[in-house]
Amino acid sequence: MILVLCFVTVAMDGFDTAIIGFIASDLVQEWGVQKSDLGPVMSAALVGLAFGALTAGPMADRIGRKKVLVLSILVFGGFSLITAFATSLTQLTILRFLTGLGLGAAMPNAATLMSEYAPERRRALLVNLMFVGFPIGSSMGGFISAWMIPHYGWQSVLILGGVMPLALAVALIFLLPESARYLAVKNKSQQQISGILRRIAPLPENTQFVLQEAGQVKDQSALGVIFSPRYLVGTIMLCLTYFMGLLIFYLLTSWLPLLIRETGATLSQASVITALFPLGGGIGVLVLGALMDKINPNKVVAVGYLLTGVFVCLVGFSTDSLVLMGVMVFIAGTIMNGAQSSMPALAAGFYPTQGRATGVAWMLGLGRFGGILGAFSGAFLMQAELSFKTIFAPAGDPCGTVGHCADDQVCGQQTSGKSRLTTPQFLCRNPRKKYEFSPGRTAAGAK
């Protein structure tokens, strides 16, 4: 149930994030504005996403994952609904920024909550599976918009994008449990923890819970945890990795059609090849998630980024054959989507419960600025009138840097003691027996 609810949350996030692109052409026609005038509207949501993530993480580690997740969904659902009644570009820009705050806050909390309930042996796979909801939500937005806009106007898509999250927020209030790990580390009501965990495994009456977890930092705020000497190196590596990954991702998705047209391809050919980049993303996400659960997850992600760099470079050397170019773009997109979407699972496993939401959220939030830089950097490359090969050869270099950073994150983990990728254990005590409980098991084992 938790996986389904978090999956739907991420899908709603994907729908509302992409929604402005689906209505852009209708705005240009109805409002009589230039396409370039929509630039601030497009970027406002990205900026909101960044600040929403940076703010929501510390809040979730202070007041709880569920509360912040529900609040974030109410924010982006409510402002999406209000956006349907915007009458000017200024109003639209402000409302998209406010919508972005909720969108940015939702995803890291969903990832944190999912990781804290997923069994260790399948944690990365389940967190990655949850993130498959984002491209599905974005794609569904395109199909729904294609049907609704001609019949009901562009406002109808925004109304739907507001009503669905608001309904989801109500469902989460009644169906989604708070993180049991968070409740234990905050010394919350034992009855509340028992009520949640009895839905996973049978427990004796009057059971008490404490969280035994390697890597906890005493007397520190959530921000103090992720920037403490124990976690500082890993925090820098995670943020730099995600930043550089989004830089390349947004550079390619934003400018690839124009770059391909420069090789002499038609508009339809460029569109088809560009569409291949995200097409295999779901495959990459699930494959890398499964591998991360079996072998060193840092090295899996690092190799993923390194291979992305290789295939991005090969795209630049495939101008003689559009078929070969399409194959290279598909492979690069499959691996990169898998590696980039695996980063939240990697971050969630690295940090202790007391700073997990903040660590994941700050990685996602700071990484958004890489996406903004990537979208703008394409303009400079085009202005320099560089050849297709010249652009793509160095474009793979950041992926190599990212791969090195992802692998170096192992060093950050080793210097801080035991790996955070081990499942924190709940030590359950009653007057007569000790029970050790790991979320994901079917029963508690007596010690």
218 shares a domain with 207: no
* Separation of alpha carbons 213 and 185, rounded Å: 9
325 shares a domain with 293: yes
pLDDT of residue 88: 93
- Collapsed DSSP state (helix, strand, coil) of residue 144: helix
* Separation of alpha carbons 43 and 45, rounded Å: 5
Which residue is listed with tokens 């409002």? 31
132 shares a domain with 250: no
> How many folded domains does the chain comprise?
3
148 shares a domain with 233: no
Type of residue numbered 227: F
* Separation of alpha carbons 23 and 153, rounded Å: 9
pLDDT of residue 423: 33
Residue finishing a domain among 127, 153, 176 = 176
Q: Which two tokens stand for residue 78?
A: 């409510």
172 shares a domain with 82: yes
pLDDT tens-digit map of 337-381: 899 999 999 999 889 888 999 999 999 999 889 888 877 776 676
pLDDT of residue 416: 38
Helical packing angle, 232-261 and 397-415, nearest 10° = 170
* Separation of alpha carbons 111 and 160, rounded Å: 24
Q: Which helix (H) or strand (E) holds 435?
A: strand 434-437
pLDDT of residue 205: 72
Average pLDDT along the chain, 447 residues, taken 10 residues at a time? 94 90 86 83 88 94 94 97 95 96 95 89 90 87 88 94 97 92 81 79 72 67 88 90 87 76 80 80 89 89 88 83 90 90 90 91 92 76 68 58 55 39 38 41 34
Report the half-sphere exposure of 24 (CA within 13 A, side-chain side). Answer: 17
* CATH at 359: 1.20.1250.20
204 shares a domain with 132: no
Q: 163, 160, 114: which is closest to 140 by C-alpha?
A: 160
165 shares a domain with 81: yes
pLDDT of residue 158: 96
pLDDT of residue 399: 55
Rounded to 5 degrees, what are φ and ψ at 424?
Answer: -60, 140
Helical packing angle, 267-279 and 322-350, nearest 10° = 30
pLDDT of residue 393: 63
What residues are paired with 211 via a beta bridge?
426
- The CA–CA distances, whole Å, from 371 to 46, 50, 134, 313 equal 8, 10, 16, 20
Cβ-based neighbour number of residue 419 at 10 Å: 16
348 shares a domain with 253: yes
8 shares a domain with 121: yes
CB 2 within 8 A of CB 113: yes
192 shares a domain with 219: no
Cβ-based neighbour number of residue 130 at 10 Å: 31
149 shares a domain with 41: yes
- Collapsed DSSP state (helix, strand, coil) of residue 58: helix
CA angle 442/129/445 to nearest 5° reads 15
194 shares a domain with 65: no
pLDDT of residue 389: 67
pLDDT of residue 255: 75
pLDDT of residue 418: 38
Which structural domain range is residue 287 located in? Answer: 213-416
* Separation of alpha carbons 347 and 124, rounded Å: 10
- Largest pairwise CA distance in the chain: 78
